[in-house]
């Protein structure tokens, strides 16, 4: 597979290092001898979701995230943060240690930047469109589903957001890398909303560790770490985590992926039980 990039980026030696449903990721050599990464977005329905992330990265300017070195069209030239994922830290040193790292990075991401935040960020309410649609359908059929419960809760949370800031939007163990500059986030979505949302996804990750995600002790420990480091009420955090899981499940339902839908709902129910115990 070959690739062509903007001439003024002066890059060569492209090696494909990853392919996802949304993008091709290349490691390249710059003219000064340093390496960089190019993320080339594929033409798909939610490409705007990825492009908002570029606005977020440019705004952060390397504070807690990889640096966006340049962008053109659907291509982004990015700082090379290496290959050491937070998931490997979890495997080596345990879940609590990985969660502490994630919480520390989030605190960095929530620090103010020198410039106003970009207007292209997506308001958090828009992010919940699929959950609201599913909740409304079930409500219209008089089905008292978990989607009705979660959409009602999400609406309340969004009406009462406590600390609205630019958000990464997709933080999890495979989107945090240990670089020479420290731990950095990659693959941002670029949202605007309550900071509790950025921690919520962690309760559902790693995706291949349902033994962790369904463990009430792990859920409580994760809530304590994030709440302490980010100055969040643990019940508020877990409410966002419950709503997030049902949102993710609604996306899987739209894709016809019943296995992942049920997995997310199972974790959401576990999160709800821990929240009720606080």
**CA distances in angstroms from 257 to 90, 106, 264, listed in the order given:** 27, 30, 11
* Catalytically annotated residue among 49, 95, 170, 198: 170
Exposed (0-12), middle (13-18) or buried (19+): which is 104, by Cβ within 10 Å? middle
**Residue 211 is among the residues annotated as catalytic for this protein:** no
Whole-angstrom distance, CA of residue 86 vs CA of residue 102:
8
Contact between 30 and 10 under an 8 Å Cβ cutoff? The reply is yes
Tell me, rounded to whole angstroms, the distance of Cα 30 from its chain centroid: 29
Whole-angstrom distance, CA of residue 173 vs CA of residue 24:
20
CB neighbourhood size of 58 (10 A):
19
Q: Which residues are catalytic?
A: 170
């Amino acid at each position: 597979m070959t690739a062509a990039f903007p001439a003024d980026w002066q890059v060569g030696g492209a090696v494909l290092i990853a392919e996802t449903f949304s993008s091709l990721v290349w490691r390249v050599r710059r003219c000064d001898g340093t390496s960089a990464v190019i993320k080339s977005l594929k033409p798909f329905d939610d490409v705007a979701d990825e492009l908002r992330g570029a606005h977020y990265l440019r705004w952060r300017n390397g504070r807690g995230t990889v640096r966006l070195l340049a962008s053109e069209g659907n291509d982004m030239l990015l700082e090379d943060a290496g290959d050491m994922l937070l998931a490997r830290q979890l495997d080596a040193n345990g879940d609590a240690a990985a969660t502490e790292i994630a919480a520390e990075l989030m605190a960095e991401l929530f620090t103010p930047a020198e410039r106003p935040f970009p207007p292209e960020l997506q308001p958090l309410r828009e992010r919940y469109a699929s959950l609201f649609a599913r909740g409304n359908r079930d409500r219209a059929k008089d089905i008292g589903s978990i989607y009705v419960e979660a959409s009602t809760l999400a609406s309340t949370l969004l009406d009462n957001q406590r600390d609205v800031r630019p958000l990464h939007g997709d933080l999890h163990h495979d989107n945090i890398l240990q670089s020479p500059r420290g731990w950095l986030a990659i693959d941002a979505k670029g949202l605007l909303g309550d900071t509790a949302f950025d921690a919520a996804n962690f309760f559902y990750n790693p995706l291949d560790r349902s033994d962790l995600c369904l463990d009430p002790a792990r859920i409580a420990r994760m809530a304590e770490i994030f709440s302490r480091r980010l100055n969040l009420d643990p019940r508020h955090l877990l409410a966002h985590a419950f709503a997030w899981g049902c949102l993710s499940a609604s996306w899987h339902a739209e894709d016809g992926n019943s296995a992942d839908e049920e997995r997310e709902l199972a974790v959401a129910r576990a999160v709800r039980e821990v929240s009720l115990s606080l």
